[in-house]
Structure 1
Protein backbone atom coordinates (compact mmCIF):
# COMPACT_ATOMS: atom_id res chain seq x y z
CA UNK A 1 0.00 0.00 0.00
CA UNK A 2 0.98 3.60 -0.45
CA UNK A 3 -0.16 7.00 0.77
CA UNK A 4 -2.24 9.10 -1.62
CA UNK A 5 -4.25 12.31 -1.74
CA UNK A 6 -7.99 12.71 -1.95
CA UNK A 7 -9.64 15.88 -3.19
CA UNK A 8 -13.22 16.62 -2.20
CA UNK A 9 -14.78 18.19 -5.30
CA UNK A 10 -17.52 20.09 -3.47
CA UNK A 11 -15.29 21.85 -0.95
CA UNK A 12 -11.90 21.68 -2.67
CA UNK A 13 -10.34 20.23 0.48
CA UNK A 14 -7.38 17.90 0.02
CA UNK A 15 -6.30 15.24 2.49
CA UNK A 16 -3.49 12.71 2.57
CA UNK A 17 -4.53 9.12 3.23
CA UNK A 18 -1.61 7.29 4.87
CA UNK A 19 -0.91 3.69 3.97
CA UNK A 20 -2.31 2.47 7.31
CA UNK A 21 -5.61 4.43 7.23
CA UNK A 22 -8.77 4.29 5.13
CA UNK A 23 -10.33 7.20 3.27
CA UNK A 24 -13.29 6.92 5.64
CA UNK A 25 -11.03 7.24 8.69
CA UNK A 26 -9.24 10.28 7.27
CA UNK A 27 -12.54 11.99 6.49
CA UNK A 28 -13.86 11.25 9.98
CA UNK A 29 -10.63 12.59 11.52
CA UNK A 30 -11.20 15.84 9.64
CA UNK A 31 -14.84 16.29 10.64
CA UNK A 32 -16.33 15.27 7.28
CA UNK A 33 -19.66 13.46 7.81
CA UNK A 34 -20.09 10.43 5.59
CA UNK A 35 -22.61 7.63 5.86
CA UNK A 36 -21.14 4.19 6.57
CA UNK A 37 -22.05 0.97 8.31
CA UNK A 38 -19.77 -2.08 8.09
CA UNK A 39 -16.23 -0.72 7.45
CA UNK A 40 -15.54 -3.97 5.57
CA UNK A 41 -16.66 -3.26 1.99
CA UNK A 42 -19.64 -5.58 2.21
CA UNK A 43 -22.70 -3.40 2.91
CA UNK A 44 -22.46 -0.68 0.25
CA UNK A 45 -23.43 2.19 2.54
CA UNK A 46 -20.31 4.29 1.94
CA UNK A 47 -20.42 4.11 -1.87
CA UNK A 48 -18.96 7.36 -3.19
CA UNK A 49 -18.76 8.68 -6.76
CA UNK A 50 -15.23 9.04 -8.17
CA UNK A 51 -14.65 12.01 -10.48
CA UNK A 52 -10.94 11.51 -11.24
CA UNK A 53 -8.18 9.01 -10.53
CA UNK A 54 -7.87 5.24 -10.62
CA UNK A 55 -9.38 3.12 -7.84
CA UNK A 56 -7.83 0.05 -6.20
CA UNK A 57 -11.13 -1.73 -5.50
CA UNK A 58 -11.08 -3.87 -2.35
CA UNK A 59 -14.80 -4.37 -1.79
CA UNK A 60 -16.88 -7.48 -2.44
CA UNK A 61 -19.84 -5.68 -4.01
CA UNK A 62 -18.87 -4.24 -7.38
CA UNK A 63 -18.81 -6.50 -10.41
CA UNK A 64 -15.72 -6.52 -12.62
CA UNK A 65 -17.55 -4.29 -15.12
CA UNK A 66 -18.51 -1.83 -12.38
CA UNK A 67 -14.93 -1.77 -11.14
CA UNK A 68 -13.64 -1.16 -14.67
CA UNK A 69 -15.99 1.84 -15.03
CA UNK A 70 -13.96 3.48 -12.23
CA UNK A 71 -16.78 5.87 -11.33
CA UNK A 72 -17.63 4.73 -7.82
CA UNK A 73 -15.89 3.23 -4.80
CA UNK A 74 -16.42 2.13 -1.21
CA UNK A 75 -14.31 4.48 0.89
CA UNK A 76 -14.13 2.18 3.91
CA UNK A 77 -11.79 -0.28 2.15
CA UNK A 78 -10.88 0.78 -1.39
CA UNK A 79 -7.88 2.99 -2.11
CA UNK A 80 -6.27 4.96 -4.91
CA UNK A 81 -4.31 2.97 -7.46
CA UNK A 82 -2.29 6.09 -8.23
CA UNK A 83 -1.23 9.27 -6.45
CA UNK A 84 -4.68 10.82 -6.03
CA UNK A 85 -8.46 10.58 -6.30
CA UNK A 86 -11.13 13.24 -6.66
CA UNK A 87 -14.36 12.29 -4.94
CA UNK A 88 -17.84 13.75 -5.32
CA UNK A 89 -18.01 14.87 -1.70
Structure 2
Protein backbone atom coordinates (compact mmCIF):
# COMPACT_ATOMS: atom_id res chain seq x y z
CA UNK A 1 0.00 0.00 0.00
CA UNK A 2 1.54 3.26 -1.04
CA UNK A 3 1.30 6.61 0.76
CA UNK A 4 -1.63 7.98 -1.26
CA UNK A 5 -3.83 4.99 -0.49
CA UNK A 6 -2.92 5.14 3.20
CA UNK A 7 -3.77 8.85 3.42
CA UNK A 8 -7.01 8.33 1.52
CA UNK A 9 -7.99 5.40 3.75
CA UNK A 10 -7.21 7.35 6.92
CA UNK A 11 -9.23 10.35 5.67
CA UNK A 12 -12.18 8.07 4.86
CA UNK A 13 -11.99 6.45 8.31
CA UNK A 14 -11.78 9.82 10.10
CA UNK A 15 -14.67 11.28 8.07
CA UNK A 16 -16.77 8.17 8.71
CA UNK A 17 -16.16 8.46 12.45
CA UNK A 18 -17.05 12.18 12.37
CA UNK A 19 -20.24 11.50 10.42
CA UNK A 20 -21.28 8.75 12.83
CA UNK A 21 -20.67 11.03 15.82
CA UNK A 22 -22.55 13.91 14.17
CA UNK A 23 -25.41 11.55 13.28
CA UNK A 24 -25.67 10.34 16.88
CA UNK A 25 -25.63 13.90 18.19
CA UNK A 26 -28.34 14.88 15.71
CA UNK A 27 -30.39 11.87 16.81
CA UNK A 28 -30.12 12.80 20.49
CA UNK A 29 -30.84 16.46 19.74
CA UNK A 30 -33.99 15.51 17.83
CA UNK A 31 -34.98 13.14 20.64
CA UNK A 32 -34.61 15.97 23.18
CA UNK A 33 -36.54 18.29 20.87
CA UNK A 34 -39.35 15.74 20.71
CA UNK A 35 -39.49 15.54 24.51
CA UNK A 36 -39.45 19.32 24.79
CA UNK A 37 -42.25 19.68 22.25
CA UNK A 38 -44.32 17.07 24.10
CA UNK A 39 -43.87 19.00 27.35
CA UNK A 40 -44.76 22.28 25.63
CA UNK A 41 -47.86 20.65 24.12
CA UNK A 42 -48.94 19.50 27.58
CA UNK A 43 -48.26 22.97 28.97
CA UNK A 44 -50.33 24.58 26.22
CA UNK A 45 -53.18 22.14 26.84
CA UNK A 46 -53.10 22.96 30.56
CA UNK A 47 -53.06 26.69 29.78
CA UNK A 48 -56.02 26.21 27.43
CA UNK A 49 -57.95 24.41 30.17
CA UNK A 50 -57.12 27.20 32.62
CA UNK A 51 -58.30 29.84 30.16
CA UNK A 52 -61.54 27.91 29.63
CA UNK A 53 -62.09 27.74 33.40
CA UNK A 54 -61.56 31.49 33.71
CA UNK A 55 -63.63 32.26 30.62
CA UNK A 56 -66.79 30.42 31.73
CA UNK A 57 -67.60 32.64 34.77
CA UNK A 58 -66.81 35.77 32.79
CA UNK A 59 -69.14 34.67 29.98
CA UNK A 60 -71.84 33.83 32.53
CA UNK A 61 -71.50 37.28 34.06
CA UNK A 62 -71.73 38.84 30.61
CA UNK A 63 -74.88 36.87 29.82
CA UNK A 64 -76.37 37.88 33.16
CA UNK A 65 -75.64 41.55 32.52
CA UNK A 66 -77.12 41.28 29.02
CA UNK A 67 -80.28 39.68 30.42
CA UNK A 68 -80.45 42.32 33.15
CA UNK A 69 -80.13 45.09 30.56
CA UNK A 70 -82.85 43.51 28.43
CA UNK A 71 -85.08 43.18 31.49
CA UNK A 72 -84.49 46.84 32.36
CA UNK A 73 -85.37 47.80 28.78
CA UNK A 74 -88.59 45.81 28.95
CA UNK A 75 -89.46 47.33 32.34
CA UNK A 76 -88.82 50.81 30.95
CA UNK A 77 -91.00 50.03 27.92
CA UNK A 78 -93.84 48.73 30.10
CA UNK A 79 -93.57 51.71 32.42
CA UNK A 80 -93.68 54.09 29.46
CA UNK A 81 -96.72 52.30 28.01
CA UNK A 82 -98.44 52.46 31.39
CA UNK A 83 -97.82 56.23 31.58
CA UNK A 84 -99.07 56.68 28.00
CA UNK A 85 -102.27 54.77 28.80
CA UNK A 86 -102.76 56.86 31.94
CA UNK A 87 -102.39 60.08 29.92
CA UNK A 88 -104.98 59.00 27.33
CA UNK A 89 -107.58 58.19 29.95
TM-score, normalized by length of structure 2? 0.12
The structure carrying a bigger helix percent of its residues is 2
The structure carrying a bigger strand percent of its residues is 1
Instruction: Select the structure with the greater relative contact order (CA < 8 A; seq sep ≥ 6).
Output: 1
Which one has a bigger Cα radius of gyration? Answer: 2
TM-score, normalized by length of structure 1? 0.12
